[in-house]
Amino acid sequence: MPLKGIRPNIVQSIRAFRVPELQDAATRLGQHFLYANLSAAQSKQDILDMIAAQYTFPAHFGKNFDALYDCMTDMVHKSGPQPGFIVVLEQIPAHAKFDKEAREQLLDIFRDAADYWGDRKIPFRCFYSFL
């Protein structure tokens, strides 16, 4: 059973998981797999640009944290029934231009999205790592 013992709506460190295993789990569970490698990001704007590009957000994406939340929740919800999500934010930068507060704000967006989908009984698991 893929992701046995992992709550269906959680944001947690990637720890022992490898990205290909998570992608395989998403495929086996019939869920969306969203992956963003953020290692080249230098700022909040870079983070938002990279997530938008790698998650293939629409061109009208507002490139702020509120718009990120909207894209991860309401916009997707309006597109029809959802099977679930496995989301990866790999190598979130940890430096002066993207400090601890900014990292927590980013992760809070995904925690809020996990709660949103949890309220709708749809699994949303987000795994992250820091650079």
Q: Please report the domains of the chain, with CATH numbers, ordered by start residue.
A: 9-130 (3.30.370.10)
Whole-angstrom Cα distance, residue 118 to residue 123?
6
pLDDT tens by residue, the chain, 131 residues: 678 889 999 999 998 899 999 999 999 999 999 999 999 999 999 999 999 999 989 888 888 999 999 999 987 777 778 899 999 999 999 888 888 999 999 999 999 999 999 999 999 999 999 98
Cβ pair 90, 35 in contact under 8 A? yes
The pLDDT score that the predictor gives to residue 59 is 85
CA dist 95 → 6, 44, 48, 60, 64 (Å): 30, 11, 16, 29, 19
Radius of gyration, alpha carbons of the chain: 14
